A and B are shown apart, each in its own frame.
Chain A
Amino acid sequence: MSLSRRIAGLAAALMLLAQLAACAPIQPWVKPYERERLADPIMAFDPDPVSSAYMEHVFEVRSAARGGNGAAGGGCGCN
């Protein structure tokens, strides 16, 4: 079987898989009522935004590295 045929076959299989997945939506493996611990304030990524912003500022002005530290983060949808 040529390489192009293999790629075409693989693409068709992936498309079929995607269509099947659409028919059976992914079920959350951690149910909403099982997220009590994740909703605890001690599990928040950024519990004190004023304090963490200040510390991040100190780190950034004293070093070359920047970014990648949660500007695009999110929560857990625990509430």
Chain B
Amino acid sequence: MRALAPATLLACGALYCTVSRTDVLPDDRADALATHYSGGGQDINGISFLVRKKVGDHVSLSYNHLEDIVSGASIDVRTSGASPYREKRTQDGLTGEFLYGKTTYSLGVTHSYEPDYRSNTANFGISQSMFGDLTTVSMTYRRTWNDVYKMECLLRDDALHYPCVEKIHDPAFGKKDMDERSYGVGLTQILTRNSIISANYEVITDQGWLSNPYREILYAEPGVGLGYGLAPEIDPNTRTSNALGLDYKYYLPWKAAVDLQYRYFEDTWQIRSHTAQIGYTQPWHNWTFDGSVRFYTQTRASFYSDLFSSPTQQNFMSRNRELSAFNEYTIGAGASYQFHVPYATWINKSTANFRIDHFIFDYKDFRDALLIDPGAGVEAGAEPLYKVQINVMQMFLSVWY
């Protein structure tokens, strides 16, 4: 929970069922993915499996399972004085797609479990191809129910790297509810024999406990300790966001593809963001290479501040760096090798894939509170801005059958 909000993962997992093609069901395939995330004091190792199989001519079923193990201590954990921790999350999802004429219906459910976060999602989608399959329009609806807990340490051993030996749900915090609804519409359009474009608009609305139970604000306390105090963040109980994304692909004459993406986002917390990405894919013999560059920028939430004047400065207060203003740059590269599996005649195609992405986060109003040192003249609010670099590696095998 402290590291990765599973509700967002559920949203991603729901993609398996809400992405509907035109009058063609998705290919039968199986994928096994291993991931490694490192940076900002955290390591996250994960695995994920996806199996998809047609049943007859009109039904396709898919099952996805993933596990993540988060370990370490982010800057938020260290600033609050908490210890490094280790936590496991699992998620399972089942999806059915039903093809009827030119219409594809999808229905899916997902369950995610963490010690301090339980999440259940149901989603429904419908897509319709028209104009000789040049155009596909789609609509999606997703509903998520989340239960939020806060863990507290019952048994400690400070000699260990992860000192908390046994954790329980904090009875004072209890259980908080958070519900999410998503409404999406999409259009995919073939433009020419070499180009295709997709546009998606999505409204997501949240209600309930939207604060992070572990994130704390900093408020000024001149002359006391390091010159600042800590208090729990208080986020509003509702949030509604709008996002419009565009994706354009062009087939180049030498058998390669260019991918251009843009997304505009805004929400009722006064956050605005722009995302732009360019990608290039080049096949070569049995290999397929691809590279991408992504730029992301966002403004801060209206109730965000790096340092508040007091713990009661305003009714909503957050120092959650995901709600601060920052720029983020990502450069990624991947390679895929297609190989033949001997004797397995039922396998049509198989690939081994590797991908690495490097992230640079450049925060504009989130400072590195660990560098506050009044004795050296670095007062709270004058410490350097925080920057972090993250590497994400993925290795996966895919087979089509």
Q: Is the CB of B190 within 8 A of A35?
A: yes
Query: Which B residues are in CB contact (< 8 Å) with A31?
Result: 132
Q: Is the CB of A63 within 8 A of B4?
A: no
Q: Is the CB of B204 within 8 A of A65?
A: no
Query: Does A26 sit within 8 A of B, measured CB to CB?
Result: yes
Give complex CA distance A28, B257 in Å.
23
Query: Which chain B residues (325-366) contact chain A, with CB distance < 8 Å?
Result: 326, 328, 353, 355, 357, 359, 361
Name the distance in Å between B21's Cβ and chain A's nearest Cβ. 3
Query: Which B residues are in CB contact (< 8 Å) with A74?
Result: 19-22, 127, 129, 136-138, 186-188, 198
A 12-31 binary contact with B (CB < 8 Å = 1; else 0): 00000000000000111111
Name the distance in Å between B37's Cβ and chain A's nearest Cβ. 7
Query: Which A residues are in CB contact (< 8 Å) with B198?
Result: 45, 70, 73-74
Query: Which A residues are in CB contact (< 8 Å) with B8?
Result: 57, 60-61, 66
Give complex CA distance A40, B255 in Å.
9
Name the distance in Å between B163's Cβ and chain A's nearest Cβ. 25
B196, B263, B298: the one contacting A69 at CB < 8 Å is B263
Give complex CA distance A30, B281 in Å.
23
Give complex CA distance A45, B39 in Å.
29
Q: Is the CB of A68 within 8 A of B244?
A: yes
Give the interface centre of A50, A66, A70, A71 by most chain B CB atoms within 10 Å: A71
Kindly report which residue of chain A lies nearest to residue B321, judged by CB atoms: A62
Give complex CA distance A34, B134 in Å.
12
Kindly report which residue of chain A lies nearest to residue B62, judged by CB atoms: A49
Interface footprint category on A: 35 or more
Query: Does A79 sit within 8 A of B, measured CB to CB?
Result: yes
Q: What total count of A-B pairs have CB within 8 Å?
A: 236
Query: Does B231 sit within 8 A of A, measured CB to CB?
Result: no
Query: Which chain B residues (359-399) contact chain A, with CB distance < 8 Å?
Result: 359, 361, 390, 392, 394, 396, 398
Give complex CA distance A50, B394 in Å.
10
B 269-298 binary contact with A (CB < 8 Å = 1; else 0): 101010100000101000010000000101
Name the distance in Å between A30's Cβ and chain B's nearest Cβ. 5
Query: Which A residues are in CB contact (< 8 Å) with B242?
Result: 68
Query: Which B residues are in CB contact (< 8 Å) with A55?
Result: 357, 392, 394
A42, A49, A56, A68: the one contacting B257 at CB < 8 Å is A42
Q: Is the CB of A68 within 8 A of B243?
A: yes
B19, B131, B186, B394: the one contacting A46 at CB < 8 Å is B19
Query: Which B residues are in CB contact (< 8 Å) with A65?
Result: 241, 243, 263, 265, 271, 273, 275, 296, 298
Name the distance in Å between A11's Cβ and chain B's nearest Cβ. 24
Listed by A's residue number, 12 A-B pairs whose Cβ atoms lie within 8 Å are A28-B132, A32-B133, A50-B396, A53-B12, A54-B394, A68-B200, A69-B263, A71-B182, A74-B19, A75-B22, A77-B23, A77-B133
